[in-house]
Copies of this chain bind each other. A is one copy, B any other.
């Protein structure tokens, strides 16, 4: 039973998410997940410490990407733009994982204890980003404010990305959310729409939405 199984990890993740959605997280046992994947429990535990790790196992990798992205951000960037740079750099982490992300969000949304765990994960990512900002020389409170504001951008962009029928990449949703935060912060747009963008980072089609607003 300990023989090598092709795509074991992917099969386990898919089985787990299917069962979490069918039966609920609490009602799903590791044995059920392994059985649905056609694998053994022992194989499951080679990849995950427990069933919760199927949902949260990627967070230390993500933290490393964010911290590394902040360290690598060009130095003339403003604090918020440095955080945004790291978020965009980390967006590749999610490329190709939209179906997983979408199912995962649905499972978490249905379960208060998982929502709490998600909040704690996001807060811990914000704390790590604030530390990375201080490392690169940004003083407090700018370091923490930029990290917190960046996390607000990330949450919005992520929610839009998982629900995007047009399947535009996460990086693009991040850029749009950042623009929207800037628009509400500068306060020139009374109704809170994104302001017109005269410059494009990579010729994004958004003119339809941004044609008015900023007085």
- The smallest beta-carbon distance between A71 and chain B, in angstroms, is 16
Residue of B156, B185, B191 near A141 (CB, 8 A) is B156
The 4 closest A-B pairs by CB, nearest first: A142-B192, A78-B187, A148-B152, A185-B185
Q: If the complex has contacts A180-B145, A181-B149, A198-B215, are A210 and B193 also in contact, measured as CB distance less than 8 A?
A: no
- B180 and A182 within 8 A (CB): no
**8 Å CB contacts to B: which residues of A111-157?**
116, 119-120, 123, 137-139, 141-146, 148-149, 151-153, 155-156
A171 at interface by CB-CB < 8 Å? no
Residue of B77, B156, B214 near A183 (CB, 8 A) is B214
A7 at interface by CB-CB < 8 Å? no
A81 at interface by CB-CB < 8 Å? yes
- Which residues on B sit within 8 Å (CB–CB) of A188? 78, 210
Interface SS, A side: helix
Residue of B nearest to A76 (CB): B190
Q: Roughly how many angstroms separate A187 CA and B213 CA in the complex, as a whole number?
A: 13
A29 at interface by CB-CB < 8 Å? no
A89 at interface by CB-CB < 8 Å? no
- Which residues on B sit within 8 Å (CB–CB) of A149? 148-149, 152, 181, 184-185
A42 at interface by CB-CB < 8 Å? no
- The smallest beta-carbon distance between A209 and chain B, in angstroms, is 8
Contact flags A29-49 to B (C-beta < 8 A → 1, else 0): 000000000000000000000
